[in-house]
Amino acid sequence: MLLNRLIRPAQRTAQVLRRNMSGSMQEEERSCKTWMYTTALVAIPGVALCVVNAFFTDPEDHSPPEFIQYEHLRVRRKAFPWGNGDRSMLHNPQTNATSEGFEEEYVAHH
């Protein structure tokens, strides 16, 4: 008897939630149309703009700036445990400067 009194409110709550979760056919059709229009009017033009930006615009000059040796940058208190100790783990000699400057001249790849 006591157990039934505790379980009944939970069962009623579950039935109410189950009823609220089920949508009507009109709601489903409306939701489907909303997402179709969103895809057609927002997503497809957005992807098209990204393609135009990526492939049909003039590439900018991405060369690294001129090296200026500031004393507060590239301070090495302890050498890296690989290589000569001055290069980071993912070092690129054209774009990453060491304490003396760039190791190689930047070559643009187009």
State the burial class of residue 103 (Cβ atoms within 10 Å of its Cβ: 0-12, 13-18, 19+): middle
pLDDT of 31 over the 80 cut: yes
Q: Give the count of beta carbons closer than 10 Å to the beta carbon of residue 75.
A: 8
Q: Where do the domains of the chain lie?
A: 21-57, 60-102
Q: What is the pLDDT of residues 42-100, one digit of tens each?
A: 999 999 999 998 888 877 777 777 888 888 887 888 888 888 888 888 888 888 888 78
Q: Which residues contact 104 (CB under 8 A, 6 or more apart)?
A: 93, 94
What local confidence, expressed as pLDDT, does residue 15 receive? Answer: 58
- pTM exceeds cut of 0.75: no
pLDDT of 16 over the 60 cut: no
CATH code assigned to 60-102? 4.10.95.10
